[in-house]
Homo-oligomer: A and B are copies of this chain.
Amino acid sequence: MRLRVEQAHGVFGALAAELGTAAVLVGDAVPMRNRCDWSGLEPATPLAVVRPVDAAGVSAAVRACRDAGLPFVPQGGLTGLCGGATPRAGWVAISMERMVGIEEIDAASSTMTVKAGTPLETIQRAAEEAGLYFPLDLGSRGSCAIGGNLSTNAGGNRVIRYGMARDLVLGLEVVLPDGTVLNSLNKLLKNNAGYDLKHLFIGSEGTLGIITRVVLRLYPKPLSTMSALCALPDYDAVLAFLAEARRGLGPLLSAFEVMWPDYWELVTERCGVRAPIGGGHGAYVLVEAQGTDEAADQPRFEGWLEGVLERGILADAAVAQSLAQTQAFWGLRDACADFVGVLGPHISYDVGLATGKLGAFTARCKAGLAAAIPGCESVYYGHIGDGNLHLVAWVPGLPLAEQPKHAMDTVVYGTIREMGGSISAEHGIGTLKKPWLPYARSEVEIALMRVLKSALDPAGLLNPGKVVG
Q: Within residues 122 to 168 of chain A, which ones have a CB less than 8 A from any CB in chain B?
A: 131, 152-153, 155, 159-161, 163-164, 166-167
Near B by CB (< 8 A), chain A positions 242-298 give 242-243, 246-252, 290-293, 296
In A412-449, the 8 Å CB interface with B consists of 420-429, 433, 437, 440-442, 444-446, 448-449
Q: Residues of A at under 8 Å CB distance from B? A: 106-111, 131, 152-153, 155, 159-161, 163-164, 166-167, 176, 180-184, 186-197, 199-200, 202-204, 208, 219-223, 239, 242-243, 246-252, 290-293, 296, 300, 352-356, 383, 386-388, 420-429, 433, 437, 440-442, 444-446, 448-449, 451-452, 454-456, 467-468
Q: Please determine whether B440 and A109 come into contact, CB atoms closer than 8 angstroms.
A: no
CA distance A159 to B153 in the complex (A): 22
Contact among B167, B249, B451 with A456 in the assembled complex (CB-CB below 8 Å): B451
Task: Knowing A159-B189, A444-B180 are in contact, say whether A449-B194 is a contact too (CB < 8 A).
Answer: yes
Minimum CB–CB distance from A39 to chain B (whole Å) comes to 14
Contact for A166 among B161, B196, B456, CB less than 8 A = B196
Say yes or no: B426 contacts A190, CB within 8 Å. yes
B193 touches A448 (CB 8 A): no
Among B153, B193, B199, contact of A424 (Cβ-Cβ < 8 Å): B193
Number of copies of this protein chain within its complex: 2
A425 to B293, CA, bound (A): 33
Q: Let me know if B192 and A153 touch, CB within 8 A.
A: yes
Closest to A449 in B: B195
Answer whether A197 and B251 are a contact pair too, CB < 8 Å, given A108-B355, A188-B354. Answer: no
Question: How far is A161 from B163 in the complex, measured between Cα atoms in Å?
Answer: 13
Interfacial chain B residues near A107, Cβ < 8 Å: 243, 356
Nearest 9 CB-CB pairings of A with B: A108-B356, A199-B199, A251-B251, A455-B455, A250-B292, A190-B425, A193-B440, A189-B386, A188-B352
Max count, chain B CB within 10 A of own CB: residue among A194, A202, A352: A194
Contact check, B292 vs A197: say whether CB atoms are below 8 A apart.
Answer: no
Known A109-B355, A247-B292, A455-B452; judge A441-B194 contact (CB<8 A): yes
Q: A192-B203, A199-B196, A246-B220 are in contact. Are A442 and B183 (CB under 8 A)?
A: yes
Distance from A361 Cβ to chain B, minimum over Cβ atoms (Å): 13
Q: Is the CB of A155 within 8 A of B250?
A: no
**When the two chains form their complex, are residues B422 and A109 in contact, meaning their CB atoms are under 8 A apart?**
no
CB-defined A-B contacts under 8 Å, sample of 23 = A106-B354, A109-B355, A159-B190, A163-B167, A164-B189, A167-B167, A176-B448, A181-B444, A186-B422, A187-B354, A188-B352, A190-B352, A190-B388, A190-B426, A191-B422, A192-B426, A193-B440, A195-B203, A195-B467, A195-B468, A219-B246, A296-B300, A452-B455
Contacting pair B188 A444 (CB below 8 A): no
By the criterion CB–CB under 8 Å, are A153 and B196 in contact? Answer: yes
Residues of B within 8 A of A468 (CB): 194-195
Contacting residues, chain B, for A444 (C-beta < 8 A) = 180-183
Q: What separation, in Å, do the CA atoms of A149 and B197 have in the docked complex?
A: 19
Q: Contact check, A445 vs B190: say whether CB atoms are below 8 A apart.
A: no
Contacts of A427 in B (CB 8 A): 192
